[in-house]
Amino acid sequence: MATLFSSEVLGGTLPSTMSDQPLGIRAIFEHAVRAHPRKEIVSRDGAAVVRFTYAAFGRRVAQLAHALRALGVRPGDRVASFAWNGHRHLELYYAVPMIGAVLHTVNIRLFPDQVAYILDHAGDRIVFYDASLTKAVKAAHALAPESGRMFVTMGAAVEPFDGALDYETLLAGEPETYDWPEIDERAAALLCYTSATTGDPKGVLFSHRSTYIHALAICLPDAMGIRERDRLLPIVPMFHVNAWGAPFGGLLTGADFILPMERLDPAGVIELCEQEQVTFSAGVPTVWMAVRDVLKAQGKKLPALRKLIIGGSALPPALLDDLEALGIEAVHAWGMTEMSPIGTVNTYLSELDDKPELQKRERYKQGVFSPIVQWRLIDELGNDVPADGVSRGELLVRGFAVAKQYYDNADATELAFEPDGWFHTGDVCTVDEYGYMEIVDRVKDFIKSGGEWISSVEVENTLMGHPSLKEACVFGVPHPKWQERPVAAVVLRETHDADEAAILAWLTDKLAKWQTPDRIIFIEAIPRTGVGKFLKRELRERYKTLFTDAG
Ligand code: ADP
């Protein structure tokens, strides 16, 4: 395919007259601090809220860079963060890559052995951790005490870590300017591991160039559309694919940047939205479901909040409708760690203006592709599938901010990447004639029943429209006759009551019989990955003998 993204490079063409100054995080930083010196960074910090200007942020980033150099951090070294969304984490986001080192944002919700594994795999020299996470860091460190790693505490620790350095002490007295080096735009800037929904965590090393291009792309008005006048609250963790690029896109546009730290409970989110007049936020559906429930229960609205970007897992249509009724525009987006992560955003295309029926259909989908992403849909034989809104295929992607391999993991790379760079997303989708992509399911989550494929996502979306259900997770269980049959694990809303028969009866005019779960199982909570996605493999394991035991 000869396109903009072609790997064929023509030789001997006329060299341009343009500057080839490297793209990178420094360019974002210098612009932000110079163009918007008075814009605010606001962060919870223990019981307090701290606020300072971009200009002051610039000075602290310089101090941190000096401190890192004094600790012996050299270009190419990996520096880990183990932290919530807070101002010190944001400082690391800039200072570490701007001295040529690599910030490894560790997922704080992984189990200690997984944390120990990725700290080791990444070869981290220093771990910067939030004081409130001391216990988890200690637990991971106890598994590899000989690593020789340094630890730096951010904030006041209740149970200090032996030998850990203190962040503020390191910064104090350091110069407030730094002579930033020029860094090759292809050099690694950030390292992030996938959340392991479908296997071991795999590392993706983002370059300065990919980070810069991704930041520009997410700011486009028909992508996230972050604006200078926004007060941006990233709820999506900075340990999860760079908070979808918000720390870069947000500062690039000059938005005020509000950081919630550990208060991700609905009351905490609502309080911050009200106190700080947040206009824009982003996060996974579960957070917004909880916020919606509280807003509805209290008859409250958040008038300043204009837009939410929701992704990471499918946005249930009922949630989108409820948020809209509360006056909040909810925009569905899809992405992956390997894509930096934004792949699609559900922008509203002008072609739909006079087609109300189509508008309704399209708004729930994952959205239209980012201009920096090239895509294909293929069938099991690798043939291209038409973009007709009906034909399903696995989605393959390539692009300026898409990985071409995993970090130091040849086996996983071989499985997921084609030699010419196409990445197998593992998502099965349709793309319609207007360009809207819809995820039908993950390849591994499809339920194969009697020769038919059942989309677990479709059944979940239907179930989540039931008034008594807080959450529903649908998965396949081996079945002696049908190969697999769908089973739904559901969580009831507090004060609601419904039994299996009632839910199955409610489903009869909503799903075909063969799509309808054979069993509805009531559980306290759905097991989740570190970033809040349903952990279906755990449920599949837990109930794998449900039909065989029953004979
Ligand atoms: P992991 O692959 O370990 O879950 P990622 O965080 O990179 O780690 O997750 C990417 C995957 O999450 C996608 O391949 C897709 O299956 C799912 N996903 C992300 N956004 C959405 C969305 N809006 N709708 C449905 N699935 C989504």
Per DSSP, the three-state class of 396 is: strand
Q: How far apart are CA 152 and CA 162, in angstroms?
A: 11
Rounded distance from Cα 337 to ligand 1 centre (Å): 8
202 catalytically annotated? no
Please tell me the predicted confidence (pLDDT) of residue 520. Answer: 96
Nearest-CA residue for atom 26 of ligand 1: 313
Top pLDDT among 185 and 452 is at 185
Give the mean model confidence (pLDDT) for residues 158-185: 94
Q: Does residue 17 have an active-site annotation?
A: no
Give mean pLDDT, residues 406-421. 93
Annotated catalytic residue, options 194, 211, 253, 286: 194
- E-only strand ranges, 300-378: 307-310, 329-335, 342-345, 367-369, 373-378
- Say which CATH topology domain 446-549 has: GMP Synthetase; Chain A, domain 3 (3.30.300)
Cis peptide before 303 (omega within 30 of 0): no
Q: Where in the chain is the domain with CATH 3.40.50.12780?
A: 25-431
pLDDT for the residue numbered 375? 98
Q: What is the pLDDT of residue 196?
A: 63
pLDDT confidence of residue 13? 84
Distance, CA 312 to ligand 1 centroid (Å)? 5
Assign 146 a pLDDT band (cuts: 50, 70, 90): confident
Residues 6 or more apart in contact with residue 312 via CB below 8 angstroms: 236, 240, 283, 284, 285, 335, 531, 532, 533
Q: Which residue has the tokens 């837009």?
A: 307
Mean pLDDT, range 395-400, rounded to an integer: 98
pLDDT at 331 exceeding the cut of 70: yes
**pLDDT for residue 2 is more than 50:** no
Per-residue pLDDT tens for 486-524?
999 999 988 888 899 999 999 999 998 999 999 999 999
Residues of the chain with CATH 3.30.300.30: 446-549
pLDDT of the residue at 551 = 47
Three-class DSSP category at 67: helix
pLDDT at 199 over 80: no
Quote the ligand 1 centre to 509 CA distance (angstroms).
Answer: 29
Catalytic residue among 91, 185, 338, 460: 338
Interior angle at CA 247, CA 241 and CA 251, nearest 5:
155
Chain-wide mean pLDDT for the chain? 93
Give the span between the Cα atoms of 294 and 311, in whole angstroms.
Answer: 20
Which pLDDT band holds residue 374 (cuts at 50, 70, 90)? very high
Task: Mark whether 351 is an active-site residue.
Answer: no
Taking 90 as the threshold, does the pLDDT of residue 163 lie above it?
no
Q: Would you state the pLDDT for residue 1? A: 44
Say how many Å lie between the CA of residue 463 and the centre of ligand 1.
20
Q: Please choose from 238, 334, 365 the residue to mutate so as to test ligand 1's pocket, defined by most ligand atoms within 8 A of CB.
A: 334
48 membership: H or E segment, kind and range: strand 48-53
Where are the strands (E) in 61-186, listed by range? Answer: 78-82, 102-105, 124-130, 150-154, 165-166
Residue 20 in tokens: 């080839």
What are the pLDDT digits (tens) for 237-246?
999 999 999 9
- Region 411-428 average pLDDT: 94
Task: Give the 3-state secondary structure percentages of the chain, helix then strand then coil, rounded to 5.
Answer: 35, 25, 40
Nearest to 207 by CA among 455, 333, 23: 23
Distance in angstroms (rounded) separating the CA atoms of residues 62 and 49: 22
Residue 170 confidence (pLDDT): 98
By percentage, how much of the chain surpasses pLDDT 70?
Answer: 97
Annotated active-site residue in 30, 296, 433, 453: 453
Q: Is the pLDDT at 427 greater than 70, yes or no?
A: yes
Cross-strand bridge partners of residue 375: 397
Pocket residue to mutate for ligand 1, from 193, 308, 313, 458, most atoms within 8 A of Cβ: 313
The secondary structure of 232-291 as a DSSP string is EEE-S-TTSGGGGGHHHHHHHHT-EEEE-TT--SHHHHHHHHHHHT--EEEE-HHHHHHH
d(CA 231, CA 277): 7
Encode pLDDT of 471-493 as tens digits.
999 999 999 999 999 999 999 98
DSSP-based three-state secondary structure for 441: strand
- Per residue in 95-109, pLDDT (tens digit) is 999 999 999 999 998
pLDDT band at 197 (very low <50, low <70, confident <90, very high): low
Q: Is the dihedral of CA 416, 418, 422, 427 positive or negative?
A: negative
Res. 10: pLDDT tops 90: no
Work out whether strand 367-369 and strand 436-442 pair parallel, antiparallel, or are unpaired.
Answer: antiparallel
CATH number of the domain at 25-431, please?
Answer: 3.40.50.12780
Residue 155 token pair? 């904030």
